[in-house]
Structure 1
């Protein structure tokens, strides 16, 4: 794992070969510490893998995310467009977008292991089965289903008790992930 300064240097090296830079002067060619913190705050970049004292530690996925962001910004995409694309981006898609040389991905020895994100189901990006999803108008009424730990699922239609039970079972892996990252408190409804 790397410190933020080491991560920034790896981003610089990854972009050095085939990167034309940002198309305008409003975007930095290489993200600095402040930009990385901002990208993390808005969800473009994952939170650090862990801490060594007061120093945040980053891994290969962070490197891929930052390089992909810069490459896409160089193509003229806005951060909003990149956020929308990241939601649907598979681990392989991130690899393809970033094109980081393998030698830069070597993390070296570290007491913090990077989670295997490729093994997690991507429920938010997988297309639902045909006939089970519909486009909801922006002004549609919204109904909430309490999942636990403070998480609420918003739906365009009211849910029955049977729906709620099925939703609770399907949401268990997500709730476990949110609790492990400290995003919810873990209490059940």
Structure 2
């Protein structure tokens, strides 16, 4: 697309061969930047197609609209009359009014809208041809991690509760401790007996079975 200055230059080139100029001395022969912005504000010319940073960008239809405006002004028509004629004008009809040389309608600046020419990829063009892909290697099975046992390094004291039930305590147990444990474990032993989880041998007497 074109910047505003580039658009003005193309309008000049389109009109310089045959445009006789406006009959009213108060009308400029060529539209300047301010006039084009005013035309866009009042809807006589389309809004810019986009922006490149803070620079407005224009295309072939803007060129045709501006040339058509100046041609009609040269015929003595007012802006109101021109706007009434050009509003909603089909592309082919606008082309007939503007008579812009085809060479000026060619858009060269494709980079304005991101259509940048493809640049050579240095890293791709200077690398060796890829070889065959390596064969996939089988994934080794996961090896179980043995659980760390504390029984091998820590001594336990067994306290018989009766019915073949043995309580392991990680410290030495006194006779007084055994009596207290037997008394506290009586409800648990009853539950185990009721569920058939004890043997017929052994009593809760505080001594090993």
TM-score tier, shorter chain, comes to 0.5 to 0.7
- Number of residues of Structure 1 aligned to a counterpart in Structure 2: 113
Gaps of 5+ in 1: 114-189
1:75 aligns with 75
The residue aligned with 2:167 is none
Contact kept, 8 Å, 2:23 with 2:74, in 1: the verdict is: yes
Matched with 1:97 is 97
- The 2-side partners of 1:34 and 1:63 are apart by 15
CA contact (8 A) 2:44 2:87 kept: no
Answer yes or no: is the 8 Å Cα contact 1:49–1:56 preserved in 2.
yes
- Provide the residue aligned with 1:112 in structure 2: 113
Displacement, 1:90?
Answer: 1.2
Deviations 1:101-158 (A, max 9, x none): 0000111132439xxxxxxxxxxxxxxxxxxxxxxxxxxxxxxxxxxxxxxxxxxxxx
User: Equivalents in 2 of 1:89, 1:15: separation in Å?
Assistant: 21
TM superposition shift of 1:40: 0.1
Deviations 1:133-187 (A, max 9, x none): xxxxxxxxxxxxxxxxxxxxxxxxxxxxxxxxxxxxxxxxxxxxxxxxxxxxxxx
RMSD (Å), alpha carbons:
1.2
Looking at structure 2, the residues matched to 14 and 52 of structure 1 have their Cα atoms a distance apart, in angstroms, of 25
- CA distance in structure 1 between the aligned counterparts of 2:88 and 2:55, rounded to whole angstroms: 31
SS in 2 for 1:35: helix
The equivalences for 1:1-189 within 5 A come to: 1-110=1-110, 111-112=112-113
CA contact (8 A) 1:49 1:112 kept: no
- Tell me, in whole angstroms, the C-alpha distance in 2 between the residues paired with 1:112 and 1:80: 33
Q: CA deviation at 1:92?
A: 0.7
Name the CA distance, whole Å, in 1 between partners of 2:80 and 2:90: 18
Q: Is 2:45–2:62's contact at 8 Å kept on the other side of the alignment?
A: yes
CA distance in 1, matches of 2:3, 2:70: 19
Larger-gyration structure (1/2): 2
Cα offset, 1:86, TM superposition? 1.1
For structure 2, the residue ranges without an aligned partner over 5 or more in a row are 115-209
Q: How far apart in 2 are the matches of 1:71 and 1:49?
A: 23
Is the CA contact 2:11–2:30 (under 8 Å) kept in the aligned structure 1? yes
TM-score by length of 2: 0.53
